[in-house]
């Protein structure tokens, strides 16, 4: 691989045929859009360069946010040799060769920035192979991943690298990329204002995608033709979702989904779930929301609801899209048709409030362990009654702090499984009254 930051000069006729996204690749960190928290004047990367203390890093973020580009520019501005490999196409032999090249270069006084794309695809043993060369300074590792590093990368590797998060492009930065594209092409995009907004939404935060879509529009446009949103959809063969994952569309639909589940309407719940899938919502986000519904709106009225939602999330992790989406749909219908109760949700809120209001009260001494003689002398554990030795396996002791008195937070309704819990609580209350709380 070449040490040069940029590839050899390409003949003008050939260069003009390069994809627009490649031709608009930033030439300095200052040109990078959408990542000012990293590349801006006060950004983390800018501070590292100015301090001269560049260390190994993991770039974590969605596709099309500039991870590869920033790594290249970083090596140039820091005066480092740039080497790039992809975990998809490389193995241990390639890594060894790369490390040896970096060692030889270091003997000549020049350090190497090794950019590893899709680093999460390396197995644990391959990831461990980076540790020695990171520790002795043979390479400064910059790994790029779209997956959560906490789950996909070795703890040992993470302990030696700083994780920097790349953000999806917002509408403003995507609009800036389109303006740059128009300046480069020397002509405006043949789109109405609404169609331009639709094209930005179609890109879904991906800078490379928005430029590719713009290129498709220019290729398709005839002289003096102007595309509206409907025509744009036909040209690029991509539906424009009336949805924005960071704005009102997102919150409106997730609210509609949650309330449809709470209202025991499986058909409406499925409709809104499908709407969010179709708009490109992260299925695991929807899985997390279904788990939330299971504990907030069903609770112990059907304890299986939480089990099924977690299983659906695991099924999606295992199957991926689109097969895994059916598991989430199954969980959604289960929740919508389950008996509803927010008794546990309400009880926990009340218990939390009581904990804040009453401070650090000592539990009754009879239920405290007494591992030392001093604690036994102080009465710890004195008078404790072992419930399994009592009639009905119930002693009726008081477990609340004496200064607080008995409280009732959980009041299950006569629905679903909580009907059985209600019977148990009433029975224990009867026994406690008969025997007298101790």
Report the alpha-carbon angle 181-186-187, nearest 5.
85
Is the Cα torsion angle 395, 399, 404, 406 positive or negative in sign?
negative
Predicted structure pTM score: 0.55
Question: What is the spatial distance between Cα 410 and Cα 378, in angstroms, rounded to a whole number?
Answer: 33
Q: Using the structure block, give the residue that is written with the tokens 């609210």.
A: 255
3-state helix, strand, coil in the chain (%, to 5): 55, 5, 35
Please give the pLDDT value at position 270: 94
Can you say how many angstroms the Cα of residue 235 is from the centroid of all Cα atoms in its chain? 32
DSSP 211: H
User: How does strand 112-117 pair with strand 81-86?
Assistant: parallel
Enumerate domains of the chain plus CATH numbers.
12-165 (3.40.50.300), 171-236 (1.10.8.60), 248-337 (1.20.272.10), 343-435 (1.10.3710.10)
Q: Using the structure block, give the residue that is written with the tokens 């030439």.
A: 27
pLDDT by residue for the chain (438 residues), tens digit each? 444 444 445 555 545 578 888 898 889 888 898 999 999 888 889 888 888 888 999 999 888 899 999 999 999 988 899 999 998 888 888 888 999 999 999 988 889 999 999 999 998 888 999 999 999 888 999 999 988 888 889 999 999 999 999 988 888 999 999 999 999 999 999 999 999 998 998 887 889 989 999 999 999 998 889 999 889 988 887 655 545 554 556 778 889 999 999 999 999 999 999 988 887 788 988 999 999 999 999 999 999 999 999 999 999 988 988 889 999 999 999 999 999 999 999 999 999 998 888 888 888 888 888 888 888 888 888 888 898 998 999 988 888 998 888 899 999 999 899 999 999 999 999 998 887 755
């Amino acid at each position: 691989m070449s040490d040069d930051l940029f590839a050899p000069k390409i003949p003008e006729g050939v260069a003009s045929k390069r994809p627009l996204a490649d031709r608009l690749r930033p030439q300095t960190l200052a040109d990078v859009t959408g990542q000012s928290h990293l590349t801006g004047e006060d950004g983390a990367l800018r501070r590292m360069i100015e301090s001269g203390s560049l260390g190994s890093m993991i770039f974590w973020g969605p596709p099309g946010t500039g991870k590869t580009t920033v790594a290249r520019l970083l090596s140039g501005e820091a005066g480092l040799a740039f080497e790039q490999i992809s975990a998809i196409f490389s193995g241990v032999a390639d890594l060894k060769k790369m490390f040896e090249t970096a060692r030889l270069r270091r003997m000549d006084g020049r350090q190497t920035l090794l950019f590893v794309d899709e680093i999460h695809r390396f197995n644990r043993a391959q990831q461990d192979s980076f540790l020695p060369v990171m520790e002795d300074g043979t390479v400064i590792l910059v790994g790029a991943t779209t997956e959560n590093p906490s789950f996909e990368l070795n703890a040992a590797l993470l302990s030696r690298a700083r994780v920097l998060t790349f953000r999806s492009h917002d509408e403003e930065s995507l609009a800036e990329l389109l303006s740059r594209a128009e300046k480069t092409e020397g002509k405006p995009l043949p789109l109405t204002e609404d169609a331009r907004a639709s094209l930005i939404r179609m890109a879904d935060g991906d800078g490379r995608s928005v430029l590719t879509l713009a290129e498709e529009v220019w290729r398709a446009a005839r002289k003096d033709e102007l595309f509206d949103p409907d025509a744009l959809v036909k040209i690029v063969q991509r539906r424009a979702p009336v949805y924005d994952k960071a704005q009102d569309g997102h919150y409106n639909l997730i609210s509609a989904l949650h309330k449809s589940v709470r209202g025991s309407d499986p058909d409406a719940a499925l409709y809104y779930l499908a709407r969010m899938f179709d708009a490109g919502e992260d299925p695991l986000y929807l899985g997390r929301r279904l788990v939330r519904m299971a504990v907030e709106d069903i609770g112990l009225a059907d304890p299986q609801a939480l089990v099924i939602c977690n299983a659906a999330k695991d099924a999606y992790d295992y199957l991926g899209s689109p097969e895994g989406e059916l598991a989430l749909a199954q969980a959604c219908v289960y929740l919508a048709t389950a008996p509803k109760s927010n008794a546990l949700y309400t009880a926990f809120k009340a218990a939390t409030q009581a904990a804040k209001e009453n401070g650090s009260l000592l539990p009754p001494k009879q239920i405290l362990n007494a591992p030392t003689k001093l604690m036994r002398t102080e009465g710890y554990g004195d008078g404790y009654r072992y419930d399994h030795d009592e009639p009905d396996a119930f002693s009726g002791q008081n477990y609340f702090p004496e200064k607080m008195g008995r409280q009732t937070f959980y009041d299950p309704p006569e629905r679903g499984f909580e009907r059985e819990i209600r019977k148990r609580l009433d029975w224990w209350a009867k026994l406690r009254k008969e025997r007298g709380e101790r």
